[in-house]
C-alpha cells in the first residue's frame, strides 16, 4: 500500500509543469484540451466574492488599507474572464463570518480556502481545485541529497513537525528515513542550518517562504519534486458557492481553466510566490 501511495504521489507531482528551463515551476491543474461550456451570466445581478483580510499572501490589507492578495487578484481575473467586471465585488470579512454571510445571501461565493470535506460539500457547490499544497523536502545547498531520493534518505535524519500530516506522510512513504520530530518550525530550521539534519520535510509553501527569507541565509534548497496526496494533505483550494447555485461553480471552472491556459494563473502565482513551491 505504501508503495502505491508513493507512486501516486510521484504521478501527481508530474502536474507541475516547468515555466522555463530555470526558475520556479508553475503548477498546472487544468487540461487545456477539455471543452468546458462558456457560461451565460447575463441574468446574474451581481457576483460578490467573500474572503478574509488576515491571511497573506492570499488576502490582506495593504499599506493603504486596500484588500489585496492572490485571492483578490484571482477573483478579479475570474470576473474579467466571465466578462462581468461591472457586476463583481470582493468583500473582506473575519473567517468566522464567511459561512453565515454566504448563507444569508450577503455574497455569492467564498474564495478563502474553505476545506473540501464531505460535510462542506453538503453546504457548498465547489469549483474544481485551483491550487494544491505539496509536501517538499529541503536540504542544505552545500550538501544536497542525491537521487533517487527514496533510497538516499535511508537511515538519514529528516526533520518534520510532530503530529502533522507531513509526519504521517514521511513515515508512510519513506519508512527508511530516520524521522526527527519538532514542536516548533524554528528549531527544525536551526538544526538543518547547523547540519544536525540532512533534510526537512513539510509544507512546500511555508518552506518556500523560509527559503526566500533572510532567516535561511541562503543555506538551503528544495530537493526532489513536489509530493501531492489528498489522503494526507487535503484536496487543495477551491471556490465555494451556495449548494443552491451549482451553475456558478461550473462558471468558475470555465474561468479558471481559461485563466490557466492563457497564462494568467502563472503570472499571479509568480507574483505572490516568487520561490515557487512546485
Whole-number Å distance between alpha carbons of 129 and 42:
25
Residue 122 sits in a domain of what CATH number?
3.40.190.10
More confident residue, 1 or 76: 76
Is there a single domain that holds both residue 266 and residue 167?
no
pLDDT surpassing 70 at residue 16 = no
Is there a single domain that holds both residue 222 and residue 170?
yes
Is there a single domain that holds both residue 79 and residue 178?
no
Is 218 within a domain?
Answer: yes
More confident residue, 140 or 5: 140
Q: Which of 237, 230, 236 is nearest to 165 (CA)?
A: 230
Whole-number Å distance between alpha carbons of 248 and 125:
8
**Domains in the chain: how many in total?**
2
Is 8 within a domain?
Answer: no
CB 193 within 8 A of CB 200: no
CB 181 within 8 A of CB 126: no
Domain final residue, candidates 192, 210, 227: 227
**With pLDDT > 70 as the criterion, what percentage of the chain qualifies?**
92
Is 5 within a domain?
Answer: no
Domain final residue, candidates 191, 210, 227: 227
Is there a single domain that holds both residue 160 and residue 72?
no
Exposed e or buried b per residue across 230-253, where buried means at least 16 C-beta atoms within 10 angstroms of its C-beta: eebbbebbbbbbbeeeeebbbbbb
Q: What is the pLDDT of residues 92-146, one digit of tens each?
A: 999 999 999 999 999 999 999 999 999 999 999 999 999 999 999 999 999 888 7
For residue 53, the enclosing domain spans: 24-132+235-272
Is there a single domain that holds both residue 221 and residue 144?
yes
pLDDT confidence of residue 23: 63
Give me the mean pLDDT over the 167-182 stretch: 97
Whole-number Å distance between alpha carbons of 70 and 214:
23
Is 19 within a domain?
Answer: no
Is 11 within a domain?
Answer: no
Mean of the per-residue pLDDT values of the chain: 90
Amino acid at each position: 500500500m505504501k508503495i502505491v501511495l508513493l507512486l501516486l504521489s510521484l504521478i501527481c507531482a508530474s502536474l507541475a509543469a516547468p515555466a522555463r528551463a530555470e526558475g520556479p515551476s508553475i503548477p498546472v491543474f487544468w487540461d487545456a484540451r477539455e471543452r468546458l461550456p462558456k457560461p451565460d451570466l447575463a441574468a446574474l445581478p451581481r457576483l460578490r466574492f467573500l474572503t478574509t483580510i488576515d491571511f497573506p499572501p492570499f488576502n490582506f490589507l495593504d499599506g493603504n488599507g486596500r484588500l489585496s492578495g492572490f485571492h483578490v487578484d484571482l477573483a478579479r481575473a475570474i470576473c474579467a474572464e466571465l466578462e462581468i467586471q461591472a457586476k463583481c465585488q470582493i468583500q473582506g470579512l473575519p473567517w468566522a463570518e464567511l459561512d453565515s454571510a454566504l448563507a444569508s445571501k450577503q455574497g455569492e461565493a467564498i474564495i478563502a480556502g474553505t476545506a473540501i470535506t464531505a460535510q462542506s460539500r453538503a453546504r457548498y457547490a465547489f469549483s474544481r481545485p485551483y491550487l494544491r499544497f505539496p509536501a517538499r523536502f529541503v536540504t542544505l545547498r552545500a550538501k544536497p541529497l542525491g537521487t533517487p531520493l527514496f533510497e538516499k534518505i535511508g537511515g538519514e535524519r529528516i526533520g518534520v513537525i510532530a503530529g502533522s500530516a507531513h509526519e504521517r506522510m514521511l513515515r508512510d512513504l519513506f519508512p527508511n528515513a530516520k524521522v526527527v520530530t519538532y514542536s516548533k518550525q524554528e528549531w527544525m530550521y536551526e538544526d538543518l542550518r547547523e547540519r544536525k539534519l540532512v533534510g526537512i520535510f513539510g509544507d512546500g509553501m511555508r518552506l518556500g517562504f523560509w527559503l526566500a527569507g533572510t532567516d535561511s541565509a541562503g543555506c538551503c534548497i528544495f530537493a526532489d519534486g513536489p509530493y501531492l496526496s489528498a489522503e494526507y494533505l487535503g484536496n487543495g483550494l477551491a471556490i465555494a458557492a451556495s449548494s443552491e447555485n451549482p451553475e456558478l461553480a461550473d462558471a468558475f471552472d470555465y474561468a479558471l481553466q481559461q485563466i490557466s491556459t492563457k497564462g494568467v494563473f502563472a503570472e499571479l502565482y509568480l507574483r505572490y510566490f516568487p520561490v515557487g513551491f512546485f
